[in-house]
């Protein structure tokens, strides 16, 4: 650490400030129900008045951390939010669900819904996606004669896993930017971990939780379909997938090409541009825009998508920037090196630290997005000492951020109220699914880390 740019050179004061900052952050959200923006910025400002803190360096770290983080990812988060709005309004979610049913068969609807959650959770906030699919969950449960928990648990878990782990969902996208992870690698290896976790959620619902829960699907949704949408013409299956698949393909291919081709080769130059997330997600927005069947509606829809996307992404942008500021401030103190060194001195696997931070952040705040960003912000300054790659740290923290989903989570209450489960049944079914899914995803991340893939 360069003394000329250090925020503080006192290990004792830095450790005290670090502990107070984390306590206040979690206390203000959990106890006083403050918005995460104020819960982040107030402890950061209080850190700046600690004895021995170099105020000029503190301000420089805050501003550079905020600006550098958003400079690399801000536009991408907005574009991802616009794609999510487009998928919701054009009926692409219904079409994707229908394709999954055709793939695995209508008799395996719980698996079809789980795979649907795995795909659309990459692009859409989990609570929004579940609200859209809820009528199908009820009608399918009644048609198959199974409990609502059998039908919904895999979907609930899969939506939450991809929401936390796989970019370009805003939370993991922001976390990747904070730790400096390669987005393409994060998508590729995060998808592998998340698919395994999603399948475990499905297994938990079908074989463990579901059979023990007797709540049936509501008659209100009997016979509800998902291909029809108030008579509106829906996009084709290919067109529905393209806004999600094409950006992910371009970003992932760019990462692979950068590893296999020399600098200045034509193919590397092409994919360096096409795989730049700003370009790839802009292509995704254009592909989603083409799915509007009524030409007269295109202008109004485009304006609405942009406005809704900006509104949705505003909180993520601010929290991401503050997460970058927090990380930059902590990096300028001896505290993070002390913690990381102590962690490794006890012989604990380095990859366990961001995982635990993700669990704590989500467990206290109830927000997966806050959990994954908090884990990234706190672990980023320690990566050098821990010997941990940015991709491994980000995926580890993201896996931890879904481990505990219970009554302090808005997503838990949305799924519980829509499926009409009792709180105890929902904790067992949905809390159990995210717990198992997070553990399996983390285990997959550990295997990839030990193997040297990330």
CB 194 within 8 A of CB 402: no
**Is-contact 330 378, C-beta < 8 A?**
yes
Q: pTM for the full model? A: 0.77
Q: Write the pLDDT tens digit of every residue in 214-231.
A: 887 777 655 555 544 545
Percentage of the chain exceeding pLDDT 90:
16
Per-residue pLDDT tens over the stretch 159-194: 999 988 998 787 888 888 888 898 888 999 999 999
What per-residue confidence (pLDDT) applies to 118?
A: 92
> Percent helix, strand and coil across the chain, each rounded to 5?
80, 0, 20
| Rama region for 420: left / alpha / beta (φ>0; ψ in -120 to 50; rest) | left
Q: What is the DSSP letter of 319?
A: H
Residues 85-106 have pLDDT tens digits of 887 778 787 888 888 888 887 7
Q: Crossing angle, helix 109-120 and helix 183-203, to 10 degrees?
A: 160
Specify the residue for token string 């001896």.
334
Question: In whole angstroms, what is the distance from residue 319 CA to residue 60 CA?
Answer: 18
Q: Which residues contact 151 (CB under 8 A, 6 or more apart)?
A: 109, 110, 113, 137, 138, 140, 141, 144, 205, 210, 217
Instruction: Work out the mean pLDDT of the chain and round it to a whole number.
Output: 82
- H or E element, residue 313: helix 298-331
Question: What are the structure tokens assigned to 241, written together?
Answer: 């997938």
* Number of other residues whose CB lies within 10 A of the CB of residue 176: 31
Check: CB of residue 159 under 8 Å from CB of residue 199: no
- At 209, is the pLDDT very low, low, confident or very high (cuts 50, 70, 90)? confident
Task: Report angle CA 387, 391, 394 to the nearest 5 degrees.
Answer: 95
- Reported as a single tens digit per residue, the pLDDT across 422-444 is 878 888 898 899 999 999 999 99
Are the beta carbons of 326 and 380 closer than 8 angstroms? Answer: no
Give dist(CA 157, CA 114) in Å, integer. 8
Q: Kindly tell me if the per-residue pLDDT of 235 is higher than 70.
A: yes
Half-sphere exposure at residue 364, Cβ-oriented, CA atoms within 13 angstroms: 24
CA torsion angle 306 309 310 313 (round to 10):
-160
CB-CB neighbours of 269 under 10 Å: 13
DSSP H or E run through 174? helix 170-179
Cα Rg of the chain, angstroms? 22
Q: Are 127 and 410 in contact (CB under 8 A)?
A: yes
Determine which of 114-123, 296-305, 393-402, 422-431 has the lowest per-residue pLDDT on average.
296-305
DSSP E strand boundaries for 179-270: none
Q: What is the DSSP letter of 84?
A: H
Average pLDDT for 364-381: 79
CB-side exposure of 195: number of CA atoms within 13 Å?
7
The tokens for 266 are 């034509």
Q: Residues 6 or more apart from 247 whose CB is under 8 A from it?
A: 83, 168, 277, 280, 281, 283, 284
Beta carbons within 8 Å of 44's beta carbon, 6+ residues apart: 21, 62, 322, 325, 326, 329
> Is the Cα torsion angle 394, 400, 406, 412 positive or negative in sign?
positive
- pLDDT computed for residue 232 by the predictor: 58
Residue 228 has what pLDDT?
A: 47
What mean pLDDT comes out for the span 193-202? 95
Greater confidence (218 vs 41) lies with: 41
Report whether pLDDT(360) > 80.
no
Neighbours of 266 (CB within 10 A): 8
């Amino acid at each position: 650490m360069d003394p000329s740019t250090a925020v503080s050179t006192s290990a004792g004061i830095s450790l005290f400030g670090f502990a107070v900052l984390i306590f206040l952050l979690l206390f203000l959200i959990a106890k006083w129900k403050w918005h995460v923006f104020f819960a982040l910025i107030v402890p950061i400002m209080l850190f700046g008045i600690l004895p021995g803190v170099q105020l000029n360096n503190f301000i420089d770290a805050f501003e550079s951390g905020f600006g550098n983080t958003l400079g690399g990812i801000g536009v991408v988060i907005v574009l991802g939010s616009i794609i999510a709005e487009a998928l919701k309004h054009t009926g692409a979610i219904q079409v994707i669900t229908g394709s999954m049913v055709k793939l695995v068969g209508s008799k395996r609807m719980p698996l079809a819904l789980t795979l649907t959650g795995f795909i659309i959770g990459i692009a859409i906030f989990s609570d929004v996606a579940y609200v859209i699919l809820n009528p199908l969950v009820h009608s399918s449960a009644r048609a198959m004669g199974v409990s609502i928990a059998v039908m919904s648990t895999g979907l609930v878990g899969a939506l939450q896993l991809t929401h936390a782990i796989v970019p370009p969902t805003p939370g993991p996208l922001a976390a990747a930017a904070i730790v400096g992870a390669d987005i393409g690698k994060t998508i590729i290896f995060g998808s592998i971990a998340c698919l395994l976790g999603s399948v475990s959620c499905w297994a938990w619902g079908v074989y463990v939780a579901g059979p023990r829960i007797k709540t049936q699907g509501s008659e209100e949704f009997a016979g509800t379909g998902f291909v029809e949408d108030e008579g509106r013409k829906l996009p084709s299956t290919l067109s529905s997938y393209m806004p999600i698949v094409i950006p992910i393909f371009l970003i992932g291919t760019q990462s692979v090409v950068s590893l296999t081709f020399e600098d200045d080769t034509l193919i590397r130059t092409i994919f360096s541009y096409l795989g730049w997330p700003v370009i790839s997600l802009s292509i995704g927005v254009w592909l989603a825009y083409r799915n509007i069947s009524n030409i007269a509606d295109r202008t109004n829809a485009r304006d609405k998508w942009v406005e809704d996307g900006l509104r949705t992404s505003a909180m993520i942008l601010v929290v991401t920037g503050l997460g970058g500021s927090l990380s930059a401030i902590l990096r300028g103190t001896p505290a993070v090196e002390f913690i990381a060194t102590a962690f490794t001195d006890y012989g604990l696997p380095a990859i366990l630290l961001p995982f635990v931070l993700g669990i704590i952040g989500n467990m206290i705040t109830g927000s997966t997005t806050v959990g994954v960003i908090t884990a990234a912000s706190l672990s980023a300054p320690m990566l050098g000492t821990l010997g941990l790659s940015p991709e491994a740290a980000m995926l580890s923290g993201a896996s931890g951020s879904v481990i505990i989903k219970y009554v302090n989570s808005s997503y838990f209450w949305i799924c519980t109220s829509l499926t009409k489960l009792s709180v105890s049944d929902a904790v067992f079914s949905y809390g159990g699914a995210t717990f198992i899914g997070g553990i399996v995803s983390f285990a997959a991340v550990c295997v990839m880390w030990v193997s040297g893939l990330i």
